[in-house]
Amino acid sequence: MKKQLNLLPISTFMIAFALLSILPLETFAQSAAGAQSIVKKFIDVINILFPAALVFGLIYAVLGYIADAPNKHQRLIYLIVGVAIWYGFSMIIGDIQSSFGGSGKIDSNIVR
């Protein structure tokens, strides 16, 4: 029997390299403006990816209940955990920003 090669570590490295290679050069700057830019882009990406994943999770959970899948409750629990993680992330980001004198939102006029 042939032994198969596990490509998961290699593909993870390739995805990380691809994501880092498309970032603009300003994200690698060693300054406060560069750090603010990185934080803003990170928050923007999370605020796009989480809702999209939650929509797919909602569809997946509803389809599980419609098809009477045996793991329909597990799908619903995953959806609830995903919502809790997204809410917690949003609350933590707002708390950190307000503790540094902000309004809890990133001012796009400051970060360029």
Q: Which tens digit of pLDDT belongs to each residue from 35-75?
A: 666 777 877 888 888 888 889 889 989 999 999 989 989 98
pLDDT (mean) for 82-98: 83
- Per-residue confidence (pLDDT) for residue 66, from 0 to 100: 92
Q: How confident is the model at residue 25 (pLDDT cuts 50, 70, 90)?
A: low
Can you tell me the distance from the alpha carbon of 90 to that of 75, in angstroms, rounded to the nearest whole number?
23
pLDDT of residue 6: 60
Give the whole-angstrom CA distance, residue 107 versus residue 39: 12
pTM: 0.54
Residue 29 Ramachandran class (φ > 0 left, ψ -120 to 50 alpha, else beta): beta
Question: What integer pLDDT is reported at residue 112 of this predicted model?
Answer: 43
